[in-house]
Amino acid sequence: MIALKNLENPARDVRFLLDRGYPSTSAIRFVSNHYKLSLSDRHLITRAVLPSIIAQKRRDKLITCDEMKGLALLIDGYNVLITMESVLDQEIVLCDDGFIRDIKGVFGKYKKTDATDVALTEILTLLSEISPSLVLFLFDSKVSKSGELARYVKGKLTQFGLEGDTETLSSVDHKMKTCNAIVATSDGHIIDSVDAVIDIPQCVMKIRGIFPLQIKYFENKHDVKC
């Protein structure tokens, strides 16, 4: 774990305000201005720091990848791919809710590159080892060339011997929230609406010995375990 010592006090203050009902945007702006944080540090805190109650509820939904054996899996395509690429670039943060998130902010501008193939190979290698019964990748149709990426991923599923498919949808969130399956995502709005979630990039990260950034809590009872 790579602890961000310089952000511990700002993160503590943001958590304090969030736990008392202050709006996230206002709380982060106020604290960031007080500590004169850079834009990158403000972005990192925005990604990583959450109200304690919400963080705990999300941690309770997080299951291990080993628990996926024989179950259907719905994958938030862009979310997981972008996060996986960020794991390989070591541009990730372990958030208060126990999920890994990227710190790049590239969604909506995503383009398939050589990194896509490397990240997808890592994902599919893991899935072939944990053997879900069905894998369905969902891609946001509003992102440029989503159909092309979906076809590419579908071909890769076949190569890895995985039973599954890909879809492009105008509302990936809606399907993930309403479909009766385990979901793979780090999108907080989706996590809050489903019963069980896996964090595929975090599973790969542990296997490869890659350590995320983390802003530590001061109180041990709130520590997020990796």
β-strands 92-94, 100-102 pairing = antiparallel
- One domain for residues 29 and 132: no
- One domain for residues 188 and 132: yes
Give the residue from 90, 84, 103, 99 showing the smallest Cα distance to 224. 99
pLDDT digits (tens, 9 = 90+) for 196-214: 999 999 999 999 898 888 8
> If you average pLDDT over every residue of the chain, what do you get?
90
**At which residue do the structure tokens 């949808």 appear?**
169
Can you give the C-alpha Rg of the chain in angstroms? 18
Give the residue from 218, 226, 199 showing the smallest Cα distance to 84. 199
What residues does 218 pair with on adjacent strands? none
| Buried residues in 175-200 as b, exposed as e (16+ CB within 10 A) | bbeeeebbbbbbbbebbeebeebbbb
Give how many domains the chain has, as a whole number.
2
- One domain for residues 74 and 40: no
- One domain for residues 131 and 204: yes
- One domain for residues 184 and 80: yes
pLDDT digits (tens, 9 = 90+) for 79-88: 999 999 999 9
pLDDT digits (tens, 9 = 90+) for 21-61: 999 999 999 999 999 999 989 999 999 999 999 999 999 99
Domain that holds residue 158: 56-210
Q: Is residue 223 part of a domain?
A: no
β-strands 134-140, 164-169 pairing = parallel
